[in-house]
């Protein structure tokens, strides 16, 4: 599938039409963040989407860590693990790559 | 009291989930406080207990309150307190409720708020 | 005593926001401290710059502007505000809208600012 044009993303790099998300788009979003997606990234991206489906909201850092612990085990349910995969702000950057709604910066 | 003394906060939510934005506002506020590692609890009073109603199915474009509230244990809010008289009035039995809900009788409710430093009423 | 206030009523929908402003002034007049008023949910409409009061009716902005003049921080919850069109210039740009709609005496900020004010306050009051 060809990459989406620049116009598919807003000024902050968020996907405008969330229905257009697929694995190729995730690769594109990740590379804009300087991240090359590995299996470990995908595991968390799928988890973020599962969180969204289950709880109808994108997670803040604390529940994301708890959810990873619950679903992936204690080694991966740590903020340091998520920080290594998505440096800076894992919940925010991970959600962006996972094609979840743009956060309203409420925290 | 010093600036750094940890405060216990009770969020009191009295509105049904979808008629206005207040129940959602209470939940967002509670989740923000929990995300910042504050000691915060939720009490559902009166029509607020309708937030626990099973099988909610809001119209497209409205977030499902039942799903959102179910994330609270992941935020470190292990127990949600609910007014037992209101539950009975709305025909909600203990068996309809998630395991993380604790019910409080009218007598319990008289003393319950006293353990908190702040009460945020919604 | 350190106070923090949360305002959730609209400027004219009921009396709660007017009461909140009057209470805030009373807090300061009594020598207590009030560093921040946090406008949440429907309360963010209090920060709209375009509010025009008829000449013979109360101007809902006036009470808040007088507080700002006394160094009280007026913060609109960013999540509540953007949903309701109350934008500062940053948010207007972020969401590709034409321009700011809030009065410059107000700022927009996250719920963390309420959490912080609450953690530091001896008394936390909600209006509306």
* B29–C120 C-beta distance less than 8 A: no
For the domain covering A6-97, report its CATH number: 1.10.10.370
What is the distance between the alpha carbons of residues B16 and B51, in angstroms, rounded to a whole number?
Answer: 6
* Average pLDDT in chain A: 94
Domains of chain B in start order, with CATH, are 8-54+62-109+116-121 (3.40.1260.10)
Least confident of A15-29, B3-17, C37-51, C88-102: B3-17
- Residue range B57-114, pLDDT digits in tens: 999 999 999 999 999 999 999 999 999 999 999 999 988 899 999 999 999 999 999 9
In angstroms, the separation between the Cα of residue B120 and the nearest Cα of chain A is 18
Chains that touch B (3 or more CB pairs under 8 A): A, C
Residue B11, beta-bridge partner list: B42, B120
Q: Which pLDDT value is given to residue B3?
A: 53
What is the distance between the alpha carbons of residues B82 and B105, in angstroms, rounded to a whole number?
Answer: 9
- Residue range A74-104, pLDDT digits in tens: 999 999 999 999 999 999 999 999 999 988 7
Domains of chain C in start order, with CATH, are 2-127 (3.40.1260.10)
* B74–A62 C-beta distance less than 8 A: yes
- This model of the complex carries an ipTM of 0.92
DSSP tag of C76: E
Q: Which pLDDT value is given to residue C51?
A: 95
- Residue range B25-51, pLDDT digits in tens: 999 999 999 999 999 999 999 999 999
Long-range contacts of C26-33 (CB under 8 A, 24+ apart): C27/C3, C28/C67, C28/C70, C28/C72, C32/C1, C32/C2, C32/C3, C33/C1, C33/C2, C33/C3
What kind and span of H or E run contains B86? Answer: helix B84-89
Q: Of A64, A58, A19, A12, which Cα lies nearest the Cα of A33? A: A12
Q: Which pLDDT value is given to residue A2?
A: 83
What is the distance between the alpha carbons of residues C127 and C15, in angstroms, rounded to a whole number?
Answer: 9
Q: Which pLDDT value is given to residue A104?
A: 76
Residue C124 has pLDDT above 60, yes or no: yes
The band of B4, judged by pLDDT with boundaries at 50, 70 and 90, is: low
DSSP per position, C13-49:
TSSHHHHHHHHHHHHHHTT-EEEEEEE-GGGGGGGBT
What is the distance between the alpha carbons of residues C12 and C35, in angstroms, rounded to a whole number?
Answer: 24
Q: Would an 8 Å CB–CB cutoff place C111 in contact with chain B?
A: yes
């Amino acid at each position: 599938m060809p990459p989406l044009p620049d116009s598919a993303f807003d000024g902050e790099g968020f996907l405008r039409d969330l229905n257009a998300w697929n694995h190729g788009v995730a690769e594109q979003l990740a590379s804009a963040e300087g991240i090359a997606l590995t299996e470990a990234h995908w595991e968390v991206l799928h988890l973020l989407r599962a969180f969204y489906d289950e709880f109808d909201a994108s997670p803040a850092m604390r529940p994301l860590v708890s959810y990873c612990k619950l679903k992936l085990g204690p080694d991966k349910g740590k903020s340091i693990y998520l920080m290594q995969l998505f440096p800076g702000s894992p919940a925010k950057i991970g959600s962006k790559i996972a094609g979840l709604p743009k956060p309203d910066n409420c925290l | 009291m010093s600036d750094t003394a940890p405060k216990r906060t009770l969020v009191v939510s009295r509105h049904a989930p979808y008629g206005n934005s207040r129940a959602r506002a209470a939940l967002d506020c509670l989740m923000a406080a929990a995300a910042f590692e504050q000691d915060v609890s939720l009490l559902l009073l009166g029509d607020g207990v309708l937030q626990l109603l099973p099988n909610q199915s809001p119209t497209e474009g409205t977030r499902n309150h039942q799903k959102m509230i179910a994330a609270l244990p992941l935020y470190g809010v292990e127990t949600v307190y609910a007014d037992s008289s209101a539950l009975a009035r709305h025909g909600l039995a203990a068996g309809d409720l998630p395991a993380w809900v604790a019910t409080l009788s009218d007598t319990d409710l008289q003393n319950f708020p006293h353990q908190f430093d702040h009460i945020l009423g919604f | 005593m350190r106070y923090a206030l949360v305002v959730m009523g609209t400027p004219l929908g009921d009396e709660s926001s007017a009461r909140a402003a009057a209470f805030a002034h009373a807090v300061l007049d009594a020598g207590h401290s009030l560093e921040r008023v946090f406008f949440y949910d429907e309360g963010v409409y209090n920060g709209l710059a375009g509010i025009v009061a008829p000449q013979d009716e109360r101007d809902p902005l006036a009470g808040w502007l007088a507080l700002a003049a006394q160094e009280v921080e007026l913060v609109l919850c960013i999540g509540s505000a953007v949903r309701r069109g109350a934008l500062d210039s940053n948010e207007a740009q972020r969401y590709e809208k034409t321009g700011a709609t809030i009065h410059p005496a107000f700022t927009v900020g996250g719920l963390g600012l309420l959490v912080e004010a609450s953690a530091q306050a001896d008394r936390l009051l909600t209006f509306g």
